Amino acid sequence: MALAGIVAQVRAHPVATVLELGSVLVCCLLFAGTFVLLATGAPTGRGDPWLALISVGVAFVLFWTVLVPLYERTL
């Protein structure tokens, strides 16, 4: 697909493009964050960084499995 075709698709669906690119970014950040936290060792005390990583992952999963299907059903 030519670059002009990709640009036309992005212009036709700007919200979907933002959602998809945002999802890729969140996945990459979760992947990198997991390895950074694994390199620091097991959590001690409250483990706030691990809790933050898990919370972001849970929010991401809930967004795609609950909110997006509900939105699609209401259209």
Which tens digits make up the pLDDT trace of 49-74?
Answer: 999 999 999 999 999 999 888 888 88
What single-letter DSSP state applies at residue 46? T
Provide the pLDDT confidence category of residue 5 given band limits of 50, 70 and 90: confident
Structure tokens at 41: 């060792």
CA distance linking residue 16 with residue 34, whole number of Å: 27
Amino acid (one-letter) located at 1: M
- For 10-31, the pLDDT digits (tens) are 899 888 888 899 999 999 999 9
Whether the predicted pLDDT of 7 surpasses 90: no
Whether the predicted pLDDT of 1 surpasses 70: no
Structure tokens at 7: 């640009």
Q: Where are the alpha helices (DSSP H) in 1-75?
A: 3-12, 14-40, 48-62, 68-74
